[in-house]
Amino acid sequence: MFPPSTGGRRNKTKGMALVIVLALATILLLGAIANYKTGHLHRGLLKNSTLNLQAEFMALAALQHAQLKVRFFPTEMYDASQYSLGKNPYFDFSTISNASYSSLHPLRKTEYISLDSSTYIHVASSSNPGPRFISQGTISTDPSTKWFQMASLDPDDSDPTKSQFLTNSSKWFPSGWPTNENGEKILNSDLYLWKFRSDITNSTAIQPTLSCQITNAPAPLQYDISTPNSIPYIASYQIVDLQVLTMVGQQRMNQEAVKIVAKATVFDPIEKDQIGNHISVTLTANTVIKVSRR
């Protein structure tokens, strides 16, 4: 007798091996696809994180630039802030206590008037050039603030469309009246603040030595930080607003609190959007400083 045939068993074993191979191949393929998607997502997140971090540091650089200018030109900053409020920057708004007033020479006492039972305020005199306010706006009716701030400015001092300001506007601003971030004309009272911040930027046209352009840089992916090359990306910053604040509890009348608002934009050196523009990230940062006349 012949032994029983084993061909069916071999075919069954080969079929199981094929199924196992296909299953393993499928698992490996799915794993490769998952790794690719995860890696692609990770690279995208890393790139966005890098751009956000670069933009954040650029905005902080703008704030440092602004504070450096204020440090060198505190009087100009203080005067500009006073003009925006309609106040005379040369006027001494300081107050003294009742005890300090009592110790003054009789002639000096004529330079002060009583604000309340414990405080005396400076008035205009030969040693304190007046008036207090350079705008004929509305004086505050609040007894605690009317000596130090105005309720509103005269329209002639704030409206940029008034004829007396337009007379020399083409000479002052050959490129047109300056505007804010919303395209609105800068108020007359804020022109000095605008002028103070207008050159706090790294724009090539204004501050070419601070410009961050990729034009003369090596290929971004081949950039070596140990080599003194140019910046491997395009970035810009500017101060977009200076706001004079009213600080609760602020006692020093010859000092103003100013909020500095900076905006920075960083462009990806390689990636572009659907219309061909470099992908960018824009961030803003702000800080509050106190300025006084020196």
In a domain, 60, yes or no: yes
Pick the residue with more confidence: 123 or 252? 123
In a domain, 147, yes or no: no
pLDDT, residue 37, reads: 67
State the residue for tokens 């002052």.
172
How far apart are the C-alpha atoms of 247 and 187, rounded to whole Å? 22
**Is the model's pLDDT at 252 over the cut of 60?**
no
To the nearest whole number, what is the mean pLDDT of the chain? 81
In a domain, 129, yes or no: no
**Chain centre distance of CA 166:** 30
pLDDT, residue 84, reads: 92
Strand partners, 86: none
Range(s) of the domain holding residue 70: 36-90+163-292
- The number of domains in the chain is 1
Q: What is the pLDDT of residues 105-128, one digit of tens each?
A: 998 888 899 888 788 988 888 888
**Is the model's pLDDT at 19 over the cut of 50?**
yes
pLDDT, residue 263, reads: 95
In a domain, 75, yes or no: yes
In a domain, 143, yes or no: no
Burial class (CB in 10 A: 0-12, 13-18, 19+), 60: middle
pLDDT, residue 275, reads: 82
In a domain, 151, yes or no: no
pTM: 0.74
Pick the residue with more confidence: 26 or 44? 26
In a domain, 103, yes or no: no
Q: What is the pLDDT of residues 156-207, one digit of tens each?
A: 888 877 756 666 677 778 888 888 888 888 888 899 999 999 999 999 888 8
